Amino acid sequence: MSGILTYALHYEGAFNKNSLGAVSEGAKLAKEIGGDAAVVVVGGDDLTDDLCASLGNYGATKVYRVKGPEGLGAPVVDAMAKVIQDNSYSYALFGGGLLGFEIGAGLTARLDAGVTMEVTAVKAQSGKLVAERPILQDSAIVDVDYVGEPGIIIGRLNAFDVVESGGGAAEVVDVDVQFEDHSGQAVMIQRGEQRGADVNIEDAELLVAGGRGLGKAEGFQLCEDLAGALGGAVAATRAVVDAGWYPYAAQIGQTGKTVAPKLYLAAGISGAIQHKVGMQASENIVAINKDANAPIFEFCDLGIVGDLNAILPKLTEAVKAKKGG
């Protein structure tokens, strides 16, 4: 057995950034352990020859194109299981994101394979792959080896860099897949619905982000006032977006956006891994939280243990005074 198979998620004619990271990483690792750097794509007519072949730019040598429903895990499990069984790939690799977790887990069961998730790096050692996985709130990293093949590697969000290696067009191979009955029992009714106002947080140099610690939706006014004084924008955690306190477009983290501003000021955010992966590359991280044990105090540059309702208004006034003076 040899080679690495990745999955590339696409939407509206473009591939997902984390998928392209996985394709790039797969291509790099395939060079080290030998075999194809192959990719599975599942979708409809929008998966044109050109779009599929463009994965060669990221080092893919072969793209298996499967006609099937998009945005759900099980059909991709069926497709990847067939491609792995027919072509004996040694590893299946996924970039970070919801769907990669679901597909990787499904393949684990289908192929009786080992799986490691939240992987931040992959090493080639004596022709095999070893996955590095942080555990216990990132306080330790375990090296995981696979017993038998295939091995399934599910990356953490943004773990793998997108690298345009300048390869030529990838070979595109159409594959017919008989989908399992249960794969047809989940049907997408609506995909990619945007809720709430559209705000742009990715271009902001200064971000004030609010979490559950704000207490209520009205608490975001404190963040907006401070962001206004700083000349920045407001972002939010998944928990408060799901609670309807702030628009989806402002969400940072696992299923939201990834940002790296000059200043990330986190107000009432505990700093769970799912949030951390979306903002840890920020240049300066300031955290205000009343819980001294919040994980965010482990990776912020300046942490304030205190009541944000008391601190934020005074900070806003002080910033205004400083900038005005």
- HSE-CB of 314 using CA atoms within 13 angstroms: 6
Contacts with another protein in 35-64 (CB under 8 A)?
A: none
Q: How far is the CB of 189 from another protein (least distance, A)?
A: 4
Cβ 116 vs Cβ 152: under 8 Å: yes
Q: Is 194 an interacting residue with respect to another protein (CB under 8 A)?
A: yes
Stretch that binds another protein, among 23-31, 170-178, 188-196, 214-222 (CB under 8 A): 188-196
Indicate whether 291 belongs to the interface with another protein (CB under 8 A).
Answer: no
Residue 202 as a binder of another protein (CB under 8 A): the answer is no
CA distance 322 to 261: 21
- Stretch in the footprint of another protein (CB under 8 A) among 33-41, 72-80, 85-93, 159-167: 72-80
- Per CB under 8 A, contacts with another protein among 227-286 are 230, 238-239, 241-243, 248, 251, 255-256, 262-263, 273, 284-286
322 binding another protein? (CB under 8 A): yes
Cβ-based nearer residue to another protein, 60 or 315: 315
What is the footprint of another protein within residues 76-95 (CB under 8 A)?
77
Contact yes or no for 264/282 (Cβ under 8 A)? yes
Between 149 and 171, name the residue whose CB sits nearer to another protein.
149
Instruction: Using CB under 8 A, pick the residue from 45, 50, 139, 218 that binds another protein.
Output: 139
Closest approach of another protein to the CB of residue 250, in Å: 13
User: Which CB, 25 or 118, lies closer to another protein?
Assistant: 118
Whose Cβ is closer to another protein: residue 37's or residue 72's? 72
CB of 149 to another protein, least distance (A): 9
187 is a contact residue toward another protein (CB under 8 A): yes
DSSP conformation letters of 225-269: HHHHHHT-EEEE-HHHHHTTSS-GGGBBSTTSB----SEEEEES-
Exposed e or buried b per residue across 150-180, where buried means at least 16 C-beta atoms within 10 angstroms of its C-beta = bbbbbbbbbbbebbeeeeeebebeeeebebe
Residue from 219, 288, 230, 239 nearest 261 by CA: 230
Nearest to 45 by CA among 62, 77, 70: 70
Residue 126 three-state SS: coil
Structure tokens at 103: 């597909």
